[in-house]
Amino acid sequence: MTKPTTASGHKGLQLEQALIFEQDTQGTTAVDLPPIPEYADKLGEFGCDDPLGLPGLSEPEVVRHYTRLSQKNYSIDSGFYPLGSCTMKHNPRLNEKMARLPGFADVHPFQPISTVQGALELIDSCAHWLTELTGMAAVAMSPAAGAHGELCGLMCIKSAHDAAGSTRSVVLVPDSAHGTNPATAALCGYAVESIPANSEGRVDINALKSRLGPDIAAVMITNPNTCGLFERECIAIAEAVHAAGAYFYMDGANFNAIVGRLRIGDLGVDAMHINLHKTFSTPHGGGGPGAGPTVLSEALAPYAPVPMVVHGADGFDAEEHAGFGTAKKAYGRMKGYHGQFGVFVRALAYMMSMGADGLKQASGDAVLNANYLLARLSEELTPAFPGPCMHEAVFDDRFLKGTGVTTLDISKALIDEGFHPPTMYFPLVVHGALLIEPTETESKAALDQFVESMLHVARRAKAGNAAAEFQAAPQLAPRRRLDETGAARKPVLRWKPDETAAARQAAE
Ligand SMILES: *Cc1c(COP(=O)(O)O)cnc(C)c1O
């Protein structure tokens, strides 16, 4: 049976949506104002006589336009979001409610310190629990995202080397590193060299040790890494790195897999950022806001950026210049003010409501869920690495060998099944990778639904003669396969009456 075409272009109750400018009926407005009486114009030559070019729509038209647009956003509130290396989990509404309390939401960074004691106490408590959970000496709260936290950590490392008169110029990063790691090192002026992974998907410690030397400033390692695996040799790595006079940076974006179970300070780590928006609540995606506090060892703490909350004689105070502790060698600041305050509120509410036992259970459930997917999907898919995983499961594309179907095709077919595709082709060290992170917030029923769809898609691919059908996916989505590279490299961001319509037609 062929699918009907419709006169409207709508597909069932999925409505096509024209740009707001294309819906324009000049003269229509959402409000009726009385005619303007005569008045003396004081603007002179600066007055605008030309039409503003705003679209004319009635109130219901505006409401429908923005409501439909909001429905085009796929989100964690509408369905399972199995992206790996991203941690898209449910964020309790309680934390949203806390962040919206007027006492938190309406404070201003320029208020006198005496009027924001509660806000400073909240930052201080959040900082306290982050150092407690990581076993580290200090935390810089101001970085605004994970990548920003990495930059903060590397700037502390650079400051420490500068203070010691050392001119070390190279940062070592494993093959499987998140792209932000080498970018951060490069932004700090370091040359980046990669360390290979071993066949188990972990850092090749011998390769790492043999590259250590007087030119190495730092080693950046993600743990658990982006292959979803725990780096077991961190203590040996830390010892070797320190013996060589370098610092050990850990990318802690995946802290949600180990929180409550491991204090990274015990591993010999010098600096690590924590993505509060991945581990401690706060919805993210679409660009934030997030927060990337960076925990620091004794050795790096003195260089931590200002501002920081300190315990003053009359309550809490903000240290704006000198820096942390007695050494006070702050390298400067990461941004204006104290950081993403609303995210701190959510993070503290999350920690307080979960408690020590709850946090430990969350990391345990995240790992359990990932291993459930790994085990069940292994019926048809090929796991990239032997053995259990941490918070995310990685598959390669060996199961598609000879089918003519690619990882991309599988992802597109999953859209027809009603699932957001997992992360694809990352980590780069895995051929045709599918990286899936279920998180602790998905129920077994939700995971089973995903598994059934994934297995169904994999079986269809393996049954043979399916390449053409797969290449046509998605067939049930409002749009078919898009030119994603074109959309990223040559986005059409500005509406111009004729050009935009022509570009859209060309794209369709
Ligand atoms: C998400 C992530 C980052 C970057 O964090 P942002 O908040 O997106 O800047 C860095 N490393 C790893 C491993 C990540 O998963």
pLDDT digits (tens, 9 = 90+) for 371-388: 999 999 999 999 999 999
Identify the residue whose C-alpha is closest to ligand 1 atom 15.
Answer: 85
Q: Measured from the CB, is residue 397 less than 6 Å from ligand 1?
A: no
Q: Measured from the CB, is residue 85 less than 6 Å from ligand 1?
A: yes
Give residue 449 CA to ligand 1 midpoint distance, Å. Answer: 28
Contact predicate 219/241, CB 8 Å: yes
Q: Measured from the CB, is residue 173 less than 6 Å from ligand 1?
A: no
Parallel, antiparallel, or unpaired for β 382-383 and 393-396? Answer: antiparallel
Give residue 333 CA to ligand 1 midpoint distance, Å. Answer: 21
pLDDT band at 176 (very low <50, low <70, confident <90, very high): confident
pLDDT at 185 over 60: yes
Burial profile 15-50: b = 16 or more Cβ within 10 angstroms, e = fewer: eebeebeebbeeeeeeeeeeeeeeeeeeeeeeeeee
Helix axis angle for 180-187 and 146-163, nearest 10°, is 40
What 3-state DSSP class applies to 356? helix
Q: Measured from the CB, is residue 222 less than 6 Å from ligand 1?
A: yes
Q: What is the pLDDT of residue 288?
A: 66
Domain ranges of the chain: 93-350
Give residue 146 CA to ligand 1 midpoint distance, Å. Answer: 5
The percentage of the chain sitting over the pLDDT mark of 70, rounded to a whole number, equals: 97
**DSSP string computed for 92-129:** -HHHHHHHHSHHHHT--TTS-GGG-HHHHHHHHHHHHH
Give the model confidence (pLDDT) of 208-241 as tens digits: 999 999 999 999 999 999 999 999 999 999 999 9
Mutation to probe ligand 1, out of 226, 251, 392 (largest number of atoms < 8 A from CB)? 251
Compute the half-sphere exposure of residue 157: CA atoms within 13 Å on the CB side of its CA. 33
Q: Measured from the CB, is residue 294 less than 6 Å from ligand 1?
A: no
Contact predicate 365/440, CB 8 Å: yes
Helix axis angle for 407-416 and 444-462, nearest 10°, is 120
Mean pLDDT of all residues in 24-39? 89
Q: What is the pLDDT of residue 200?
A: 87
Atom of ligand 1 nearest to the CA of 85: 15
Give residue 174 CA to ligand 1 midpoint distance, Å. Answer: 15
Q: Measured from the CB, is residue 175 less than 6 Å from ligand 1?
A: no
Give the model confidence (pLDDT) of 314-333 as tens digits: 899 999 887 777 778 999 99
Closest by Cα among 304, 305, 276 to 292 = 276
Q: Measured from the CB, is residue 147 less than 6 Å from ligand 1?
A: yes
**CA atoms of 178 and 214, how far apart (whole Å):** 25
Give residue 423 CA to ligand 1 midpoint distance, Å. Answer: 14
**CA atoms of 508 and 499, how far apart (whole Å):** 14
Question: Exposed (0-12), middle (13-18) or buried (19+): which is 60, by Cβ within 10 Å?
Answer: exposed
Give residue 289 CA to ligand 1 midpoint distance, Å. Answer: 13
pLDDT at 287 over 70: no
**CA atoms of 98 and 282, how far apart (whole Å):** 12
Question: Exposed (0-12), middle (13-18) or buried (19+): which is 311, by Cβ within 10 Å?
Answer: exposed
**DSSP string computed for 378-414:** TTTSEESSSS--SS-EEEESGGGTTTS--HHHHHHHH
Give residue 119 CA to ligand 1 midpoint distance, Å. Answer: 27
Q: What is the pLDDT of residue 503?
A: 62
Q: Measured from the CB, is residue 275 less than 6 Å from ligand 1?
A: yes
**CA atoms of 16 and 257, how far apart (whole Å):** 41
Give the model confidence (pLDDT) of 406-463 as tens digits: 999 999 999 999 999 999 999 989 999 999 999 999 999 999 999 999 999 999 999 9
Give residue 249 CA to ligand 1 midpoint distance, Å. Answer: 14
Closest by Cα among 327, 277, 263 to 298 = 327
Would you state the structure tokens that stand for residue 229, as one six-digit string?
Answer: 């695996």
Name the pTM for this structure.
Answer: 0.91
Identify the residue whose C-alpha is closest to ligand 1 atom 4.
Answer: 146
Give the model confidence (pLDDT) of 475-493 as tens digits: 998 889 989 899 999 998 8
**DSSP string computed for 318-348:** EE-SS-STTT-----BSSSSSS-HHHHHHHH
Would you state the structure tokens that stand for residue 110, as one six-digit string?
Answer: 């320029």
Q: What is the DSSP letter of 359?
A: H
Q: Measured from the CB, is residue 251 less than 6 Å from ligand 1?
A: yes
Would you state the structure tokens that stand for residue 432, as one six-digit string?
Answer: 């045709």
Give residue 224 CA to ligand 1 midpoint distance, Å. Answer: 12
Domain over 93-350 is classified CATH 3.40.640.10: yes
Q: Measured from the CB, is residue 226 less than 6 Å from ligand 1?
A: yes
Atom of ligand 1 nearest to the CA of 292: 7
pLDDT at 500 over 60: no
- Displacement of CA 412 from its chain's centroid (Å): 22
pLDDT band at 270 (very low <50, low <70, confident <90, very high): very high
Mutation to probe ligand 1, out of 81, 85, 175, 220 (largest number of atoms < 8 A from CB)? 85
pLDDT band at 32 (very low <50, low <70, confident <90, very high): confident
Q: Measured from the CB, is residue 178 less than 6 Å from ligand 1?
A: yes
